């Protein structure tokens, strides 16, 4: 026991306020009015964004709030002109979810408090997993780095998918979906994310798609699938320019484990949705071939199917960095052979990006 204090309680702190109703941009706060007047403070994160003096009332309509945002409200009482109480215990609420219309929009999961054995996702995210087996029914969920393991790309949190199957137990693994907040028109957007395998022993395939209804898996339309091969995070870029009008929800899906793939798992971190230049969409479907001890050939396609100029690069690093690239070359077309001495049994990474003129480029 420590820090005793004995004081005259001339003006007691009021009880915590009650949140009566919430919209995207407002909330109604109520309290038991036993004092002539109150200060009502509204906080976002730890910052006080508004304090309002209210006399002779037991409620306040708080306006000009942002959609999809968590707020805290506290009260203090004016018992007379000189006596002001301490602040009450806080009441926390979230405004209703709105459509994301400001870009870039990003999520790294680090502001989320992970809870072991429970489904925890950022505000305005949805998930689908109809498994009834409690150990796996809450995936996907945000998970925190542990004492001995680092799961995230940007510490401390990441999004984990996990599914297991056993013919000897009553497991009922189901497909899992993590569904981002509703986005405005997707036809000029792209998603960038980083992903790694749960383990190199397990299948880590995941699919990014669009949905019209975040509660109905049958509305999922696949856009691109990926299979991380290692426990090192890799970058993935998914454009949605051909999916205009086919859904305003971006979703990430991992198929359920089964008798062939008895365990599946993947970690995902550092998502960003951004607008993209429809005249500079970038490249896709990179293929390395004709590997010798002194060369390797790179082929790719441009996203729009037309011919453009490009830049290509080869590196020993898993993310492009001009300072560590072994060779970077401007080309015209969609094929290039790097003539460079390659070390036996070593890993190399090939990159390409569209050159769009006047110093403008797509993402690598």
* Residue 322 contacts residue 361 (beta carbons within 8 Å): no
Q: Which parts of 117-197 are beta strand (E)?
A: 126-128, 141-144, 157-164, 176-179, 189-197
pLDDT of residue 121: 96
DSSP 3-state of 286: strand
pLDDT of residue 340: 94
Record the tokens describing residue 111, joined without a space.
Answer: 């502001």
pLDDT of residue 246: 72
* Residue 192 contacts residue 251 (beta carbons within 8 Å): no
Residue 104: cis peptide before it, omega within 30 degrees of 0:
yes
pLDDT of residue 81: 75
pLDDT of residue 110: 95
* Residue 171 contacts residue 136 (beta carbons within 8 Å): yes
**β-strand pairing of 37-44 with 91-94:** unpaired
Average pLDDT by consecutive 10-residue portion of the chain (364 residues)? 82 93 96 94 93 95 93 94 90 94 95 92 96 92 89 95 86 94 91 95 96 95 94 91 83 95 96 91 93 95 92 91 93 96 92 92 90
- Among candidate residues 205, 191, 314, 347, the one with its CA nearest the CA of residue 263: 205
* Residue 349 contacts residue 324 (beta carbons within 8 Å): no
For every residue of 299-333, DSSP letters joined together read: EEEETTSS--EEEEEEESSSS--TTTEEEEEEEES
> CA 208 to CA 220: how far, in whole Å?
9
> CA 146 to CA 171: how far, in whole Å?
26
Handedness of CA 335, 340, 341, 346 (dihedral sign): negative
- Among candidate residues 339, 331, 325, 335, the one with its CA nearest the CA of residue 355: 331
First to last CA, the chain: 59
pLDDT of residue 45: 85
pLDDT of residue 6: 82
pLDDT of residue 278: 85
Give every strand in the sheet of 295-302, ordered side by side: 283-289, 295-302, 335-339
3: buried, middle or exposed (CB in 10 Å: 19+, 13-18, 0-12)? exposed
DSSP 3-state of 33: coil
DSSP 3-state of 219: helix
pLDDT of residue 147: 76
219 — phi, psi (to 5°)? Answer: -90, 0
Contacts of 103 (CB under 8 A, 6+ apart): 189, 273, 274, 275
């Amino acid at each position: 026991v420590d820090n005793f204090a004995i004081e005259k309680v001339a003006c007691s702190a009021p009880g915590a306020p009650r949140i009566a109703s919430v919209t995207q941009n407002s909330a109604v706060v109520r309290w038991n009015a036993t004092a002539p007047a109150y200060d009502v403070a509204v906080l976002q994160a730890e910052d006080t964004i508004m304090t309002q003096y209210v006399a002779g009332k037991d409620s306040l309509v708080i306006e000009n709030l942002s959609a999809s945002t968590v707020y805290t409200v506290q009260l203090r009482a004016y018992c007379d002109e000189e006596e002001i109480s301490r602040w009450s215990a806080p009441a926390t609420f979230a405004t209703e979810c709105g459509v994301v219309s400001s870009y870039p929009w990003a999520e790294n999961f680090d502001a989320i408090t992970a809870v072991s054995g429970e489904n925890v996702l950022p505000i305005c995210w949805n998930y689908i997993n109809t498994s009834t087996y409690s150990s796996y029914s809450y995936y996907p969920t945000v998970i925190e780095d542990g004492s001995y393991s680092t799961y995230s790309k940007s510490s401390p949190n990441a999004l984990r998918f996990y599914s297991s199957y056993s013919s000897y137990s009553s497991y009922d693994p189901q497909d899992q979906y993590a569904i981002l907040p509703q986005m405005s028109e997707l036809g000029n957007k792209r998603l960038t994310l980083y992903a790694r395998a749960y383990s190199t022993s397990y299948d880590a395939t995941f699919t990014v798609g669009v949905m019209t209804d975040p509660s109905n898996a049958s509305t999922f339309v696949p856009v691109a699938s990926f299979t991380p091969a290692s426990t090192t995070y890799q970058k993935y870029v998914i454009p949605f320019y051909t999916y205009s009008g086919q859904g305003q929800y971006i979703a990430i899906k991992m198929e359920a484990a089964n008798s062939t793939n008895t365990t599946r798992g993947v970690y995902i971190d550092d998502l960003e949705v951004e607008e993209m230049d429809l005249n500079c969409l970038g490249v896709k479907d990179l293929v390395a071939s004709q590997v010798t001890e002194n060369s390797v050939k790179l082929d790719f396609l441009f996203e729009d199917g037309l011919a453009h100029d490009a830049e290509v690069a080869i590196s020993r690093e898993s993310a492009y960095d001009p300072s560590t690239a072994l060779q970077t070359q401007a080309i015209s077309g969609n094929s290039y052979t790097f003539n460079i001495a390659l070390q036996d049994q070593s890993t190399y990474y090939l990159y390409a990006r569209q050159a769009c003129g006047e110093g403008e480029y797509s993402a690598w």
